Structures are given as C-alpha cells and as structure tokens.
Structure 1
Amino acid sequence: MASQSQHRVYIPSNARSNQYILAEFRLDELFYSHFSSPAEAYQKISDTLFTLCEENSLHNVHVLANDKLPIVRFNEESYCLQTKKQVLFFYNPKHHESHTCLSEPGHQARKIRIIFLATGDELRAHAADFHRRVTKVIGLFKADLAHCPTVIKIRDHQHLTYDLFANAKGNKESYGYKLRSLAPRYQARACDLPSTHSEMTYVTVGIPLTRNIKTRFLKESDTGYAKLYRYIEDSFLTACGAKNLSRIAMVANDHIPLVRNSQVDRNDQNSELQKISFDPANHDSQYFGYWHEDKLVQTIYFIIAAGDEDKNDIGYGKFMNSVEGALRGLADKLEIPATQQNVTVRFYQHVSYHA
C-alpha cells in the first residue's frame, strides 16, 4: 500500500481541469498567391475549418492570423483580450462556445494558429476523445483546403489548477490522482499518438509580492531589490534541493513564462513572454533565474519541470508530491498565510508532434 500511495497525489476536489489543442502551420507567398488578399485567405481557412468543426461537435475554436500566442485561462465569463504578443482566452468549458477568426488589417500572417478549446464536463476523462476529434478535423482540413501546407504541428495542452492551501481554507474534499502521462492514457482509450511525439510535464506557480512579503523582507535602506530576489531565489533553490527537484526556474521580470523542451526550442524572450527550455533526458541540474535588481514585479513565477526519471507506468503522482513539498517549504520561508492567500498551482501536461 505504501508503495502505491506515494504515487498518488491528493488534489482538492474543486480543482479545475482544462484542455486545448493548438494546430499551427506556416504560410508562404505561394499560398497567398492563390487569393486576392490575406483577408480572403483567412476567410477561406475559417469557412473550411468551422464547417468541419460543426460536423464533429467542436464548438469553441479560433483561427489566429495575427502571429500572436494564445494563452488560456478559466473564467466564469467569456473574454478574448489581446496584447501586442498574446491573445488571452478566458472561458468556462461548461458554458462557453465560439467560432472566431482574429486578424489585423494589413497584416500578412507568417503562421496560422488554430486553437481548439475543450468544452463540456469531465475534460480529463474525455481528453482522448477530444484529441481524436480534433486530429480528425485537422486531417479533413488538410484534404479540403486547396494549397494547405502539408505539415501541421499539433500541441495538446492539459492543465490541472488548484490552490495549494485549499484544505486550510476549509475545502477538505480531495481526489487521489496518479497523473498518468498522456501517451498511455490515450492509448488505453484507442487514441494512439505518433511514436515521434515530444512530451513535457511541469508545474508553475505564481506568488504575488504582497505588502506582507515586501515589508518583511525589504528594508528602507535597500538601494534595489537584489537582496529580496536573492533571498527568495535561495529559498526556492533550497526547497527544491530538499526534494531532489533539479529542473527549475524563477521568473521575476514581468514576463509570462512559457515552458518548452530544449530538444525542440531554446530559451528566448520578447517584450511579454519568457521561453524556458528544459531537457527531460539530462540529469544535470538545470536552473534559470530571470530578474532585475532595479525592478520590483507584482508576481514571481516558479517553474518545476519533470524529467524522464519521473515518468513511469503509474504516473507523475510521486513527482507532484515532491513539488507540493517544495512549494510548502517555500511558502513557509516567505511566511505566506495559508488561510488568507491562495498559492495557485498549475500542473501541465503537453504533447506535440507533426501531423
């Protein structure tokens, strides 16, 4: 029993599940030459895609022809907000549906991104069926759209989001998760992934620099924020080291972290996003710290990635127990009040391949 229990993590019953699939392909001048304008090309892409989506019960799908990256979050109200580099989708999978095409006048997109948002109840239980329907639509889309590029990259994203201190706030019910990796989960439901797929599993948590933290750890005599960041950084490294977690990052530069596999992507950043690439196969310590001593941010992001050694037939439950232990240790050092402040944990599972 003890051996089995260590591979099961108990997550609050009010945790939110989310899933979306991103399909993307590049457009060249040859593709655009078949249309009178980029707008006509995007209309043709949208018309073809949305017809197929209706036929396959995919009710929340968006075409992005503006070279911006989609970010997905839960919300009781449906919003689509844009920044210079991002499109933020806020929605409740139980209630919200939409088919839209987002483009900008005069802009010729280098890449088309199609985002399929899962809808309905029990998203995790129905994840394989959603993936199967999306890949079916993508195959039909490639066949039906003349001049469509032959290679489309698929990224399947799944999240579990919950408050680390839900129990302290009175949410006593929890559910034991094994957190199996996507490939065997899908295979058990007759949805096989290509053998040449790439997987990433990781956790992110954003901790606001509240007045309490600043007053405790910042002194009026400080001429910058280096001492504060180093204290938090050292606390994070110590907490993770105690749990043998070695693929980690701290982002405090006002950028949103994006996690990738270093075998596919390199570390990079733009004005809004911080790409962090880990190698799951490399057992050496991988730490990335991004902060500036002259700039105080509102939120610090911490990332902990799983390695190949954390992946087993049972699942990532043991890894998540270690992650939770490290995060509780960090919260203790920062003296975060469990009954008053949320520490929102996001457990991510991604798989990507070319279709």
Structure 2
Amino acid sequence: MAINSKHRVYIPTNAKSNQYILAEIKPDEAFYRHYQNPAECYQKLSQQFFALADEFGLHNVHMIANDKLPVVRYHHEAYCLQTEKQILFFYDPQYHEAQNLFTKPDYQARKIRLVFLATGTEIRAHAAEFHSKVSQLLESLKGLLPDPQLQVKIRDHQHLSYDLFASAKGQKETYGYKLRGLYPRYRARQCDMPENHSAISYVTVNLPLTRQLKQRYLKPGDTDFSPLYEALEKAFLQASEDKNLFRLALVANGLTPLVRNSQVDQSQHNTELQKISFDTAHDKHQFSRHWQADNLVETAHFIIVAGDEDNTESGYGHFMNRVEAALNNLAKTLQLDPMRNEMIVRFHQHISYMLS
C-alpha cells in the first residue's frame, strides 16, 4: 500500500487526455524550386499528406504553412482559431475529425508543420499505436518529397488536465496513474524510437486572477500591481520548495508559456509566446519570473518541471504527488475557495527526435 501511495497519483476520472504529434520540415530554396510557387507546393503536398492520412486511418490532421505554432487543448466543441503567432485547436478526441491546410497568400514558409491530433477513446492506452502510425506515414511522405533526404523532426505531446478542486466540487472517483516516461512506455509497446532523443515532463497550472485575489493584495486605484505578483511568487516558491520542487516559473505577462529542455531550446519570447527553458539534468534551483508591475493580466501560469531524477522506473507518480501537495498548500496560502475557484492542472509529457 505504501508503494502504491508513493508511486501512483490519483487523478479524477473526468480528467481530459490529449495527444498530438507535430512533424516539422525545413524546406530550402532548392525544395521550393520544384514547384511554380509556394501555393502550388502547399496544395500538392497537402493532397499527398491527406491521402496518406486516410490510408493510415488518421482522421484529424492539418498542414500549417504560415509559420504559426499549433496549440492543442481539449474542448467539447471543435474550434480552430488563429492569432498572429498561433493556431489554437480545441477539440474532443472522441468525436471531432478534420483536415485543413493553413497558408498565407504569397508567403513562403520557413517551416512546414504537419499536425496529427489523436482521435478515439483511451488516448493514453493507444498513444504508442498512434505514434507508430504517424511515423509510418511520415516515412511514406518523405519518399514523395522532391528531396527524400530532407530531415523531419517529430515532437510528440501528451497531457492530462483536471481541476485541482475536482473532489471539493463532488468528483470523488479517481484513477491511479504511474505516469511512466514516454520512451520506456513506447518501447514496451514495440514502438521504437531513437535513443538520441529529447524528453521533458512538467506541470502547468492556470490560475485566474479573480476579483477576490486582486482585492486581497491591491488597493483601489493601484497602478503598481507588484504586490499581487510578489505575493503569488512568494507563496508559489514556498509551497514548491517545501516539497523539493526546484525547477519553477511564474508567467503573468499575458503570454502563452512554452516549456522546453535547455539542451534543445533557449528562453525567448515574442508578442504572444513565452518560451522558458530548463535543465532537467542538474538539480540546481531554477526559477524564471515573467511579469511587469504595470501590467495586470487575467491569468497567472505556474510551471513545475520534473528533473531526470523524477523519471523513475515507476514513472512520475511520486513527482505528481509532491506537485499536488504543493499546489494545495499554494491554494490555502492564497485563500482560494475550492467551490468558487478553479485551478486547471495540466501534466505534460514531450518527446522529440529526428526521423532517420
């Protein structure tokens, strides 16, 4: 029983599971010269891509040729929204299917992105099978490209999302997860991938900055919002460090956080996205803060990243138990009412590699 309580995390049965795979191709000028213009390139390539998707039984696929980054979330209704930098896909894997080509007139993309959204039920149980199908499709597609030697980078993203306060709201049923790493989980299901890969697992928590929070830490008419952000930061750091969680970030600048392994990507930002990089190999304290005293935002994002030492043979269950304990302590410090507030916890697992 002690082993189960330590290495399993009990997540509400109404938690939402998502998986999507992103394949990136960097075409050069020689690649584009095989076509009359970029529009013809994307049209022909998308026709080949969609035909292969039908052949491999992949029913929610998209080709992005406007250099926007896909962001995928669960939703009971299907939406596809574009901003200047992002394409946001909201969908329910059990019901929604689609094929789309996203381009801009007279625009030559630096990257061609192929997005595969998992469909059906039991997403985590079938994740390796889905990954295998995508890999086979990409091998077939490479043979149709003007340059079959063109490198393709694969990024597999999975996440479980749930309300930290689900139990207080009446959702008592839970399911015990070990949350094994993607590489050993896939290998155990005969889905091979190269040993030379990059992986990262982490948690993001979205906290709406409610009227109650603002009134607690700010005075009427304040234009300096640092007391609110400093209170959030202090409470978050204390709650996390008490549970030996040391790879942390607070993003409250209105940007969407992207978490990456520092061995692959470095921290940077643009007008919509805040990329934050962490070193998972070293246990040194890593904290990244992103907020401005004169900018009051609607939502604060807390990020807790797992280290290599958290990736045990049993999985990330022990890590997640510490995360949940820290988040519950954070909620108590901030005096959040579980019946009136929502803290969406999203456990992410990423793995990426170059298709050989």
- TM-score normalised to the size of structure 1? 0.98
Q: Secondary structure at the match of 2:215?
A: helix
Cα separation, 2, equivalents of 1:323 and 1:10: 12
- 1 CA distance for matches of 2:325 and 2:75? 28
CA distance in structure 2 between the partners assigned to 1:94 and 1:38 by the alignment:
35
SS at match of 1:168: coil
How far residue 145 of structure 1 moved from its aligned partner, in angstroms, is: 2.2
Q: Which secondary structure does the structure 2 equivalent of 1:147 belong to? A: coil
* Alpha-carbon separation, structure 2, partners of 1:350 and 1:126: 16
Task: Report if aligned partners of 1:18, 1:159 keep a CA contact under 8 Å in 2.
Answer: yes
**What are structure 1's unaligned runs of at least 5 residues?**
none
- Report if aligned partners of 2:34, 2:146 keep a CA contact under 8 Å in 1: no
Aligned residue runs from structure 1 range 197-208, under 5 A:
197-208=197-208
Give 1:312 deviation, angstroms.
0.6
Offset from partner CA, 1:244-292 (integer Å, 9 cap, x none): 1000000010000000000000000000000000010011000000000
Looking at structure 1, the residues matched to 148 and 53 of structure 2 have their Cα atoms a distance apart, in angstroms, of 17
Alpha-carbon distance in 1 for matches of 2:223, 2:185: 52
Q: 1:153, CA displacement in angstroms?
A: 0.5
Match of 2:94 in 1: 94
Distance 2:124 2:225 in 1: 41
> Is residue 2:268 matched to residue 1:282?
no
Q: Distance in 2 between matches of 1:271 and 1:149?
A: 34
SS at match of 1:96: coil
Change (3 A) 1:110 1:221: closer
Q: Which amino acid aligns with 1:19?
A: Q
Residue-by-residue CA offset, 1:103-137 (whole Å, 9 max, x unaligned): 01011101001000000000000000000000000
CA contact (8 A) 1:199 1:350 kept: yes
Mapped contact 1:165–1:339 kept (Cα < 8 A)? yes
SS of 2:184's equivalent?
Answer: helix
Q: Is the 8 A contact 1:48 1:145 kept in 2?
A: no
Contact between 1:26 and 1:149, CA under 8 Å: does it hold in 2?
no
**Secondary structure at 1:116 match in 2:** strand
- Show the 5 A alignment for 1:1-355: 1-148=1-148, 150-220=150-220, 222-355=222-355
In the alignment, the residues of structure 1 paired with residue 59 and residue 223 of structure 2 have an alpha-carbon distance, to the nearest angstrom, of 53
Any conservation in 1 of the 2:257–2:273 contact (CA below 8 Å)? yes
Asked whether the equivalents of residues 27 and 150 of structure 2 are also in contact (C-alpha less than 8 Å), the reply is no
% identity of equivalent residues: 57
Query: Match of 2:52, as an amino acid?
Result: L
One-letter amino acid matched to 2:125: A
- The number of residues matched between the two structures is 355
Which amino acid in structure 1 is aligned with residue 41 of structure 2? Answer: A
**Once the two structures are superposed, what CA deviation does each residue of 1:224-259 show, in whole Å capped at 9, x if it has no partner?**
011111111011000001001000000010000000
29-38 or 1-10: which moved more? 1-10
Question: Aligned AA for 1:58?
Answer: L
Secondary structure at the residue paired with 2:7? coil
Indicate the SS of the match to 2:73.
strand
- Identify which range, 300-309 or 328-337, moves more after superposition: 328-337
In structure 2, C-alpha distance between the alignment counterparts of 1:221 and 1:62, rounded to whole Å: 47
SS at match of 2:340: coil
Which whole-Å CA distance do the structure 1 matches of 2:317 and 2:292 have between them?
A: 35
The one-letter code sitting in structure 2 at the alignment partner of 1:125 is A
Look up the equivalent residue of 2:136 and give its one-letter code.
Answer: K
1:28 CA displacement: 1.3
> Residues 184-206 of structure 1, C-alpha deviation per residue, up to 9 Å, x if partnerless?
11111111221001100000011
Cα deviation for residue 220 of structure 1 reads 2.9
Give, as a single letter, the amino acid of the residue that structure 2 aligns with 1:227: P
| Alpha-carbon distance in structure 2 between the residues aligned to 1:216 and 1:242 | 24
Structure 1 residue 222: deviation in Å? Answer: 4.2
Matched letter for residue 76 of structure 1: H
Residue 341 of structure 1, CA deviation = 1.5
Residue deviations 1:141-163, cap 9 Å, x none?
00122235521000000000001
Quick one: distance in 1 between partners of 2:139 and 2:328? 45
Contact 1:62 1:101 in 2 (8 A): yes
**Range moving further from structure 2, 214-223 or 78-87:** 214-223
- Structure 2 CA distance for aligned equivalents of residues 235 and 168 of structure 1: 22
**Distance apart, 1:3 and its partner CA:** 2.7
Alpha-carbon distance in 2 for matches of 1:330, 1:193: 38
